[in-house]
Amino acid sequence: MRGIFIVAALALAPRVPRIREADALAGQWRFTISAPERGEMVVRMRITEAQGGAWTAASRLGAARAFVPWWKYQLGRLTGKVPDGGSLVVLDAHVSGPGRFRGAFRSEMIGKYTVDGTVGKDRITGVFRRDSSGASVGTFFATRDAAAEPVRDYRSLARTIADTLVGDVFDPRLARTEPWKTFLGAVARDMSRATDDLDAMAAFYSNLPGLGLSHVELVRDPVLARLPIDSLTSRVWGPPDSLVRFQFIGPGVGYMLVRKWDAVTSAIDRAFRRLDSARANALIIDLRGNPGGDNSAGAPLAHLFRDTTYAGVLLTNKWFSVHAAPPTVAELSGTPLVTRDEGIEIVRAIRANGAVRAGAVPRAPYFAGKVYVLIDGRSASASEPIAHHLRSTGRATLIGQRTAGAMLMHLPHDLGDGWVLLVPEADFYAANGARLEGHGVMPDIVTPSREALVVAAREIAKADAHAGAVVESIALVSLGRWMASVDAYRRAITTRPEPNIRATLERTIKRRLGQAPDDKDAKAALEALTAVRDH
């Protein structure tokens, strides 16, 4: 969503004979793009070439220079992100048959997709697919458009953005700071030059970094704009079981990968029941790349503490309008404690009280074993309070890299005409007073993100050499370090055999050799594994 240079292209298919449909396309078109998770955007493009079955379209010339800071514009030209002529979007297509085209769509703002569609004298339609044979995940269509005036009233949009941000951001004092004055002034100036939705988005996002605040987003999504707040907070964006993966990766060692916090409480509860049934003594919670989500991030805390635990406090402009600092310990005692997972409950509480404590009430089964949390620079938002709380209480060892430092609570605001502004309405301070926004959470053990599971295995080995070696073997084979994984397996079986792990290593290495028969390390690893005799 924060792309500044936007380049879209339909990759050229093999040359086909010149056809009449391509020849008749020259002129200005209005493209309406409904992209996955991006809502609806109108972009004006002019088709300037139509030869040999190919056609090329570009958005307004020079727009990139108008909306992008000079140094970023120059960098974009050098890297090819800003095409010749300074357009924000360029589309090159090849007709694949009478009335049809195909290719690949690429956009830093919208994403990368394969496309196919139909082309005619007065209408172009297409669908987005994640791969050439996949299901449709979005659409676009274009009609001729000779108009010169802006698609919408973008000056008015800029004023509404300013009023909404200033009125609802968690700390009203921010609007009086120079970064905010600069940002709002630049958005008003650049949106006054906007001619379509892409211009408006570029005007917003090219200036956003100067604001120095996370969780501020602008989208045009008429469906989202019509939804009431209680529907939005209860909306589930994906099956919970697809967001949480749990398995045992060593004797007594559970591994829980959480891709996103999105109504995943039931999946988390099932994982802890499996841990309890297996009498496991170690748990690895993998939050690498987890961008955050909803209140279900507190679900693991309910199984890791014997008593009700308080993780931090959310503060809105209702608090900061009359207080210059976060609550003291005495002041916190009078604020409500929200422990339920329903998002609407916490929204109602913070809007009513201005300050709300977030925490978790114990839920069976309790897990008393060692806990290791894997984090990196993409662990953000709701992932950060749980990581901080587990580290600050000594309940877990954090391994990896500093988290994103993007911990605010934002809520959508309908700006009219399908525009939605996500405004950070609440700031978060941890139970020990630490502010996570802009700071993040440091791990106990710093290591490259991809090595975090290996390091966790070595920490486990300090208490249980066998289990640690098994986990390390699995971690190393997942990284393609074939011989090292076999060496770890050798250490594991000095005490007892692990036929399941052996089968996993053999299957994974053989799969690699099927893809790359000349991989010398994989060959050597398979030979070494074959020579190993379980004791």
Please name the residue ranges forming H helices in 399-533.
452-461, 465-478, 482-492, 499-515, 520-531
Residue 409, SS3? strand
| Co-location of 487 and 391 in the same domain | no
Task: Tell me the one-letter amino acid at 100.
Answer: R
Question: How high is the pLDDT of residue 351?
Answer: 86
Give the burial string for 312-335 (b: 16+ CB within 10 Å, else e). bbbbbbbbbeeeeebbeeeebeeb
Question: How high is the pLDDT of residue 349?
Answer: 84
In this structure, what token pair is assigned to residue 441?
Answer: 């959470």
User: What is the 8-class DSSP label of residue 394?
Assistant: T
- How does pLDDT run across 453-463, given as a tens digit for each residue? 999 999 999 99
Question: How high is the pLDDT of residue 51?
Answer: 65
Q: What is the pTM of this model?
A: 0.87
The number of folded domains in the chain is: 4
Question: How high is the pLDDT of residue 396?
Answer: 98
Residue 235 lies in a domain: no
Percent pLDDT > 70 in the chain is 84
| Co-location of 127 and 246 in the same domain | no
Residue after which a domain boundary falls, among 144, 172, 202: 144
Question: How high is the pLDDT of residue 78?
Answer: 54
What is d(CA 10, CA 115) in angstroms, rounded to the nearest whole number?
8
Question: How high is the pLDDT of residue 346?
Answer: 80
Question: How high is the pLDDT of residue 18?
Answer: 40
- How does pLDDT run across 287-298, given as a tens digit for each residue? 999 999 988 999
| Co-location of 292 and 439 in the same domain | yes
What is d(CA 10, CA 105) in angstroms, rounded to the nearest whole number?
5
**pLDDT band for position 527 (cuts 50, 70, 90):** very high
Element (H, E) at 317: helix 317-320
Dihedral, CA atoms, 468, 473, 479, 481, nearest 10 degrees? Answer: 130
- Using omega within 30 degrees of 0 as the cis cutoff, is the peptide bond preceding 365 cis? yes
Task: Find the domain containing 102 and state its range.
Answer: 20-144
Element (H, E) at 132: none
| Co-location of 49 and 113 in the same domain | yes
> Is the confidence at residue 89, as pLDDT, over 90?
no
Question: How high is the pLDDT of residue 22?
Answer: 44
Which residue, among 129, 148, 113, has the nearest Cα to 30 in the 3D structure? Answer: 148
- How does pLDDT run across 19-34, given as a tens digit for each residue? 344 447 888 999 999 8
| Co-location of 391 and 249 in the same domain | yes
> Is the confidence at residue 74, as pLDDT, over 70?
no
Element (H, E) at 412: strand 408-416
**pLDDT band for position 339 (cuts 50, 70, 90):** confident
Extract long-range pairs of 206-211: CB within 8 Å, 24+ residues apart: 206/4, 206/67, 206/68, 206/69, 206/72, 207/183, 208/2, 208/183, 210/179, 210/182, 210/183, 210/186, 211/179, 211/180, 211/183
Residue 245 lies in a domain: yes
| Co-location of 138 and 160 in the same domain | no
Question: How high is the pLDDT of residue 61?
Answer: 67
Percent pLDDT > 90 in the chain is 61
| Co-location of 71 and 175 in the same domain | no
Element (H, E) at 279: none
Residue 32 lies in a domain: yes
